Amino acid sequence: MYAFNYHRPASLADAAKLLGGASDGKFIAGGQTLLPTLKNRLASPSDLVDLTGIAELGGISASGGAVSIGAITKHAAVATSADVKKAIPALAKLAGGIGDPQVRNMGTCGGSVANNDPAADYPAAVVGLNATVHTNKRKIAADAFFTGLFETALEEGEIITKIEFPQPKRAGYEKFRNPASRYAMVGVFVAETANGIRVAVTGAGPCVFRHTEMEAALGKSFSPDALKGIKTDPAKMNSDIHGSGEYRAHLVGVVAKRAVQNALG
């Protein structure tokens, strides 16, 4: 790692101020993605502003047909939360499958969403459930939040405070893991929401995306068989030594069917 300054503010206002005052500052929450990046000297921030001391960013609450998860809530807490398990079991399952137990004890919901790694799980849930991302400045709709590879709608210094997941009628998540890294090579979140079916795919492409053809098909019949014959364009998929575009495109179909099956219980 390159040298940096470290700050641990207790309030959102202080956090924003510290970042603003740094020449090239970065927020850190659990650090489970950021620290490996820093250790490999792939980034050299001047300052790290640790958000985990800000009490108002924590906590899980369920009310009014939605589950709100504070930005610094750890994956393990989401996975084991009675509220989440009751309202959106697919979300609890997703959180319980991120990384490994040790990563889940440190990594946070807000950190994962803000980082928007193409192979992360949370973006699939945010898009699949049409969640709303709350920040210290505004509310951002899921469809407008993830803008590209490691890119989001967050502005400089903007801090995610919580994510509000509307409770779906039913939902399912399934992922096919990269055999080596265990990140999602293809992850599909399927939800039947108040406003129709949503199918969000992570891992396969450069950024989480909605599979509109699958959404239409599942709108007609919410069953794995409804997805038969639906193709995904290999040219739009990521490709690496573990999975070519063709393989990933194929897996999107298989994994989506299994996600639907999970939603059906």
Partner 1 sequence: MANQGIGQAVRRKEDFRFITGQGHYTDDINRPGQLYAVFLRSPHAFAKIRSINTDAARKMPGVVAVYTGKDVAADKVGGLICGWTVKDKQGNPHKAPRHDIIAIDHVRHVGDQVAVVIARSTSEARDACEAIEVDYDVLAPVTDVRSALKPGAPQVHADAPGNLCYDWEFGDKASTDQAFAKAAHVTKIELVNNRLSPNPMEPRSAIGEYDSGTDSTTVYTTSQNPHVIRLILCAFVLGLPEHKVRVIAPDVGGGFGSKIFNYAEETVCVWAARKLKKPVKWTSDRTEAFLTDAHGRDHVTHAELALDKDGKFLGLRVATMANMGAYLSTFASAVPTYLYALLLAGQYTTPAIYAEVKAVFTNTTPVDAYRGAGRPEATYVVERIVEAAARELKMDPAEIRRRNFVPVDAFPYQTPVACVYDSGQYAKALDEAMKMADYANFAKRKAESARKGNLRGIGICAYIEACGIAPSAVVGSLGAGVGLWESAQIRFNATGSVFVYTGSHSHGQGHETTFAQIVSDKLGVPMENIEVVHGDTALVPMGMGTYGSRSLAVGGSAIIRATEKIIDKGKKIAAHLMEASVDDVAYDKGIFSVKGTDKQVPMAQIAFTAYVPHNYPADLEPGLEASAFYDPANFTFPAGVHIAEVEIDSATGVTTIANWVAVDDFGNVINPMIVEGQVHGGIAQGIGQAMLEGVVYDPKSGQLLTASFNDYCMPRADDLPSYKVGMIETPCPHNPLGVKGCGEAGAIAAPAALMNAITDALGTEDINMPATPQNVWRVIQRQNLAAAAE
Partner 2 sequence: MTISVTITVNGQQETRDVEPRTLLVQFLREHLQLTGTHVGCDTSQCGACVVHIDGKSVKSCTILAAQAQGAKVITIEGLAQDGKLHPMQEAFREHHALQCGFCTPGMIMSAVDLAQRNPNPSEETVRHELEGNLCRCTGYHNIVKAVMAGAQAMRG
Q: Does 2 bind partner 1 (CB under 8 A)?
A: yes
Q: Which is nearer to partner 2, 79 or 131 (CB)?
A: 79
Q: Which of residues 86-115 bind partner 1 (CB under 8 A)?
A: none
What's the closest the beta carbon of residue 62 comes to partner 1, in angstroms?
Answer: 32
Q: Are strands 25-28 and 47-50 parallel, antiparallel or unpaired?
A: parallel
Residues 87 and 59: their CA atoms lie apart, in Å, by 16
Contact 162, 151 (CB under 8 A): no
> Residue 99's binding partner, choosing from partner 1, partner 2, none, with beta-carbon cut-off 5 to 8 A by kind?
partner 2
Closer by beta carbon to partner 2, 2 or else 220: 2
- DSSP class of 108: B
Query: Which residue of 46, 181, 212, 221 would you call a contact of partner 1, by CB under 8 A?
Result: 181
Contact string 83-102 vs partner 2 (x = CB under 8 A): ----------------xxxx
242 belongs to the binding site for partner 1 (CB under 8 A) = yes
Among 179, 195, 229, 235, binds partner 1 (CB under 8 A): 179
Q: Which of 123, 172, 243, 245 binds partner 1 (CB under 8 A)?
A: 243
Considering only the stretches 10-18, 36-44, 149-157, 159-167, report the one whose residues sit in contact with partner 2 under the rule CB under 8 A. Answer: 36-44
The 3-state secondary structure of 138-195, one letter per residue: CEEEHHHHEEECCEECCCCCCCEEEEEEECCCEEEEEEEECCCCCCEEEEEEEEEECC
Q: For residues 4 and 37, is the Cβ–Cβ distance under 8 A?
A: no
* Max Cα-Cα span within the chain: 56
